[in-house]
A and B are shown apart, each in its own frame.
Chain A
Amino acid sequence: MKYLRADQIEALVRDLCVKAATELPGDVAVALLAASRRESSPLGCEVLGAILRNAELARKNRMPLCQDTGLTYVFLEVGQDLHIDGDIREAVTKGVSRGYTEGYLRKSVVRDPLFCRENTGDNTPPVIHTDVVPGSDLVVTVLPKGTGSENMSAVKMLTPSAGIAGVEDFVLQTVRHGAPNACPPLVVGVGVGGMMDTAALLAKKALLRPVGHSNPDSEIALMERRLLAVINNLGVGPGGFGGSTTALAVHIETYPTHIGALPVAVNLQCHAARRATGILRGSDGP
């Protein structure tokens, strides 16, 4: 048995919120730079250059890359040998509140989606997904998700006869319709399998994979490359102003499903593909 205190979790979440909002992950910057060398449209090149300069400015001035600092997703991998002293959900929520307040991030959460839509004032509550894993570490990943790309995302309950072609058609249809509004170049997260909620969560988790890493399954990796090539022929381009860079990557994640099901979810992510991860190691005494 190892131990962690809730206040350690709060402090880490606070720092990860600020880091995610202000520092573009290195793999995304590398992919944008590579794309700017390949981009066929001069305006597209200039937009990619502006996006990279934006990332430099954000890091230097500790300013959010994008004003939409999102609804905060927090993914927790909790080692099963850990004892946490205090309320873990409360610690994460306080960490988000402090990160958004002390880091001068935009508060973009309304308390009630239907009626009063009043801003909660500190970007809480976050959406928390928890997995229990072997070991005695706590791995925390913060993914701030904006609506520009999220509103263009979609889920479809295909049935088995639709097959791979049906899945690919739905991905392409979603990207073709949504890309101009979703701040391209995109990372396209695709979840296939499970039930409706499984596919949607897989698509979101697909956005956590570093850009440039393929699915370890070679057939899925091939499908990712094929879809990326077709998407980059759509002509949407950087910023939606035309060009050959509409997406930086397609990430597909799968899960077993029912004999009668083929659910597919497409979660679009903008070029400010923000995420930050930190690890807390359990200590020997409380």
Chain B
Amino acid sequence: MSDGFWEGAHRISVPLVDDSALRRLKAGRRVLLSGVVYTARDAAHKRMVEALEQGDELPIDLAGQVIYYAGPCPPAPGQVIGSLGPTTSGRMDAYAPRLCAAGLRGMIGKGQRSTAVVQAIARYGAVYFVTIGGAGALLSQAVRKAQVVAYADLGPEAVHRLEIVDFPALVGIDPLGRDMYDR
């Protein structure tokens, strides 16, 4: 990301293992995320929750992890990944509380969440980040490495492990359940 962009942002390491850093996040605050996140959207969420309900192991250990609601374009030759912006988070509302219970600590997406998700976030001290929808070419610049780690048959909906540096976002819902969309 270029100079001066997302000024005043708080730098956060992911996965989210530092509870004290998490508690300082307030809804509306700008952040730059660096570390490892996993992509998952509709179909991958359905599979993960079905696996949990059947008592099966998940393909990734969710403890402390952050899921980015996104499905990338394929990389052209020479690219790490194709365009990769957030998808609408609300479609994952049916699954998110179950994943928070399984250890998921953070979500990145766009748009509003249901009351049940806000309550799950507050209960488990998790956090929901929002980023800029429709800016997939720009956001893909923050991805340094990408690899499919689960559900490869789902194509763009497969779970990708991403290494990100200074990925810009806002705190949408903080660990106390305060929601930046409540205006």
A-to-B contact residues, CB < 8 Å: 46-47, 49-51, 53-55, 57-58, 61-69, 104-108, 117, 119, 121, 147-148, 151, 180-181, 183, 235, 239-242, 270-272
Assembly CA distance A58 to B73 (angstroms): 12
12 contacts between A and B (CB under 8 A): A54-B138, A63-B76, A63-B79, A63-B137, A64-B136, A65-B137, A67-B73, A67-B84, A68-B87, A104-B73, A121-B155, A181-B88
Check: B71 CB closer than 8 A to any chain A CB: yes
Q: Which of A49, A64, A107, A241 has the most CB of B within 10 A?
A: A64
B82 at the interface (CB under 8 A from A): yes
Q: Which residues of B contact A272 (CB under 8 A)?
A: 134
B64 at the A/B interface (Cβ < 8 Å)?
A: no
B70 at the interface (CB under 8 A from A): yes
Q: Give bound CA distance, A183 to B134, whole Å.
A: 6
Besides A63-B76, A104-B74, 7 more A-B contacts (Cβ < 8 Å) are A63-B140, A64-B136, A68-B85, A105-B74, A181-B88, A239-B130, A272-B134
Interface residues of B in 72-96 (CB under 8 A from A): 72-76, 79, 82-85, 87-88, 90-91
| A residues near B79, Cβ cutoff 8 Å | 61, 63
**B170: CB under 8 A from chain A?**
yes
Chain B residues, Cβ within 8 Å of A57:
137-138, 141
Minimum C-beta distance from B9 to chain A (A): 11
B134 close to A117 (CB less than 8 A): no
Find out whether the CB atom of B73 lies under 8 angstroms from the CB atom of A148.
Answer: no
Contact status A107-B155, CB under 8 Å: yes
Contact present for A50 and B5 (CB under 8 Å): yes
B133 within 8 Å of A (CB atoms): yes
In the assembled complex, B156 has its CB within 8 A of some CB on chain A = yes
Provide the bound-state CA to CA distance between A35 and B17, in Å: 40
- A180 adjacent to B112 (CB under 8 Å): yes
Contact of B83 among A67, A183, A235, A240 (CB under 8 A): A67
Q: Are A242 and B154 in contact (CB under 8 A)?
A: no
For B110, list chain A residues within 8 Å (CB).
148, 181, 183, 239-240
B96, chain A: closest CB distance, angstroms:
15
CB of A67 within 8 A of CB of B136, answer yes
Bound together, the chains give a CA A33 to CA B42 distance in angstroms of 34
Cross-chain contact A104 with B133 (CB below 8 angstroms): no
**Judging by beta carbons under 8 Å apart, are A106 and B71 in contact?**
yes
A104 touches B72 (CB 8 A): no
B134 and A54 contacting across the interface, CB-CB below 8 Å: yes
B63: A residues at CB distance < 8 A? none
Indicate if the CB atoms of B6 and A106 lie closer than 8 Å: no
How many angstroms from the CA of A73 to the CA of B75 in the assembled complex?
24
| Given the contacts A104-B74, A181-B111, A66 and B138 also touching, CB distance less than 8 Å | no
In angstroms, Cα B49 to Cα A43, docked, is 36
The verdict on B135 contacting chain A, using a C-beta distance below 8 Å, is yes
B52: min CB distance to chain A, Å: 20
Q: Is the CB of B88 within 8 A of A51?
A: no
Say yes or no: is B132 at the interface (Cβ < 8 Å to chain A).
yes
Residues of A within 8 A of B74 (CB): 104-106
A239 touches B132 (CB 8 A): yes
A107 touches B156 (CB 8 A): yes
Q: Which of A65, A105, A235, A242 has the most CB of B within 10 A?
A: A65
CA distance A67 to B6 in the complex (A): 22
A104 to B83 alpha-carbon distance, docked (Å): 10
- Determine the distance from Cα of A51 to Cα of B85 in the docked complex, in whole angstroms: 12
Query: Contacts of A104 on B, CB cut-off 8 Å?
Result: 73-76, 82
Q: Closest CB-CB distance, B168 to chain A, in whole Å?
A: 8
* CA distance in complex: A263, B75 (Å): 43
B5/A46 in contact, CB under 8 A: yes
Q: Flag if A66 contacts B136 (CB, 8 Å).
A: yes
Decide if B135 touches A64 in the complex (CB within 8 Å): no
CB neighbours (8 Å) of A68 from chain B are: 71, 85, 87, 136
